[in-house]
Chains A and B, each alone.
Chain A
Amino acid sequence: MREITYRQALNEALAEELERDPNVFLMGEEVAEYQGAYKVSQGLLQRFGPRRIIDTPISENGFAGLGVGAAMVGLRPIIEFMTFSFSLVAFDQVVNNAPNMFTMSGGQFNIPITFRGPNGPAHQLGATHSHATENFYASVPGLKVCTPATPRDAKGLLKTAVRDDNPVLVLEAELLYSSKGMVEPPDEELLIPLGKADVKREGSDVSVICYAQTVPLALKVAAQLEEEDISAEIVDLRSIKPLDEKAIFDSVTKTHRVVIVEQDHPFCGVGAEVCYRIQKNIFDALDAPIIRVSQEDVPMPYNERLEHAVLPNAEKLIAAVKQVCYA
């Protein structure tokens, strides 16, 4: 194992999949000559050439649709959205074309496409540039959605996404690109299955269910809580859809208390689904009502203090944990 950044891990995943399968190509805004708006595709143009690493005009609806069409005839596109806020311009292709094709054609056309890019609020980018899209996309039948939080998960999930025969969204996080973590050496194939959660920290008093940018938040809070003798188990969903029910239930059966910390909005958010499944299946395991910590139900304000108040943060998470622990 060696330590690399989340950005580098994604870069390795792209390079390895491009190397492995000549049908894989990467397309998006500024992915080639500029080396990626966030430098995730650094060096790929030089290594794989302009046939496979392709800059586009600002035409999200167009190039997302191009990807779906290319997938219908056998290619395996990786479409980068500069951020998932801009994927909304391509909503029709991602939601109406990619996931419906297999059903509508009676199973003739599956769409092996990967849509990837940073998702969720970064820092003070305002309402149009801060969308957390995981709950919209996870609500669509036919799409798979994963949300890696560490370099290792980023690499393993992206590689799996590219090999999946269905449309998969890899929702990265701008604020995690420079974070570091241990990852297997490049000569060891790293594939992490979709739909497998990962316990990032074992604990006995409360299950904190998280994903993407809320994982480092939850880990930080868990360390703080330890000093107050509260032992939090940190369950990183890694995939929103498919959802790893078993991992969630195993943890909750052990701790009997749950806080879900998500980066999307509260109304119809990811946590609502998780919460529903827990109470439906293991109601008797619960010793307290489940609490969700999410964004506030408002468009994202630019002002830093208000943004902080809107986002899930350490204060809110600690308060929620203490509430479910009656501490």
Chain B
Amino acid sequence: MQPGEQRDEVEMLSLMLLIRRFEERASQQYQAQKIGGFCHLYIGQEAVVTGAVAAVRDDDYIITAYRDHAHALARGTSADACMAELFGKETGCSRGLGGSMHFFDRKNHMYGGHAIVAAHVPLAVGMAFAIKYRGEDRVTLCFFGDGAINQGAFHEALNLAALYRLPIVFICENNLFAMGTSVKRSTSLKQIVDRTEGYDIPGEIVDGMNFREVRDKIAEVVDSIRKEPHPAFLEARTYRYRGHSMSDPASYRTKEELEKYRLDDPITRLRAQLTREGKLTNEQFDRLDKQAKETVLVAVKFAEQSPQPPLEKLYDYTYADGAKP
């Protein structure tokens, strides 16, 4: 298969729609207090994770930070299991124990959902180590934000990956802000991607609002890694439309800036590309969107009707053997 041909693009567009509609519904359910704790929405960034999964196999490993709903959905975790997790129900992808920031799905090779900034980057390197150790041809995709690149864990992980030549793609989802801190105020370099030079890891910038560009670049990099394991780094330039979390009014940025990115919306873009090429009609698009909305409504119902994790099981998941010390 040629890079860029792995997955049907219309299917990937409907995945983006599912993610978008899921997040909108999650936001509404959060306001209705059906969801607790912190909740970080991915709206605006959809092209990054969909582009990435379109370029890899289902058995490749994926791991990300706490803005993770989309990564689970993209991996094939059902909207039901994702919404149920937000509701803290036993049918959730982490049994209602993890919550929004800690989505896990072993079956679909989604390894979390990690809420300590950059703490999962070394884990990703460990997963890549295991791939090489076993002589497999999988790759690990490690997603993280622009805020993660100033943690020691990030730097140590990059050096280890380069030193041991591990099969991993570091994907920095640069949405320009870490909470209220812009990249300009957090990072000594002009470009995040330049960080990789110091570790001798090849790095490139991709337009994170453009599905095709993300997919093609990752496909190319992954192709090279499968032939001969090595780390690679991509800085995907993207934007989150909402505040950092549900409680952040995002007053550190201007309406104009937000509008500029909204005009470059990843869903609108892919839709336009496909329509122009005669691969998608307006009716089809509307149908896909309607389907996505319905799937999410069904998920809300599923989450509502699902049982709470039983109190008797409180100690079942502390140690692997279920032992109570």
Contact = CB atoms under 8 A, between A and B. Distances in A.
A58 B117 contact: yes
Nearest to B38: A125
B119 interface: yes
Q: Secondary structure at chain A's binding surface: helix, strand, loop or mixed?
A: loop
A88 B114 CA distance: 15
Contact of A296 (B88, B94, B98, B314): B314
Size class of the A contact interface (CB-based, 8 Å): 35 or more
Nearest to B97: A301
A29 B187 CA distance: 13
A302 B181 contact: no
Interface stretch (A13-21, A222-230, A303-311): A303-311
Interface string B61-98: 00000000000000000000000000011000010111
A57 B180 contact: no
A182 interface: no
B151 A58 contact: yes
Nearest to B35: A124
B198 interface: no
B293 to A, nearest CB: 26
A249 interface: no
Contacts, number: 123
A55 B119 CA distance: 21
B181 A29 contact: yes
Interface string A37-63: 100000000000000000101111110
Interface string A274-291: 000000000000000000
Contacts of B98: 126-127, 302
Contact of A57 (B187, B309, B318): B187
A123 B246 CA distance: 14
Contacts of A29: 179, 181
A298 B119 contact: no
B195 to A, nearest CB: 12
A123 B311 contact: no
Contacts of A303: 88-89, 96-97, 99, 308-309
A33 interface: yes
Contacts of A60: 151
B37 A298 contact: no
23 contacts: A33-B185, A57-B150, A58-B178, A58-B186, A59-B151, A59-B152, A60-B151, A85-B116, A124-B37, A124-B88, A126-B37, A126-B99, A126-B101, A126-B102, A127-B97, A127-B102, A128-B101, A296-B315, A297-B325, A299-B318, A302-B88, A304-B88, A310-B314
Interface of B: 36-38, 88-89, 94, 96-102, 114-119, 147-148, 150-153, 178-181, 185-187, 252, 308-309, 311, 314-315, 317-318, 324-325
User: Which A-B residue pairs are the 6 nearest by beta carbons?
Assistant: A302-B99, A124-B36, A124-B37, A57-B150, A303-B88, A34-B180
Interface of A: 29-30, 33-34, 37, 55, 57-62, 85-86, 88-89, 123-129, 267, 296-299, 301-306, 309-310
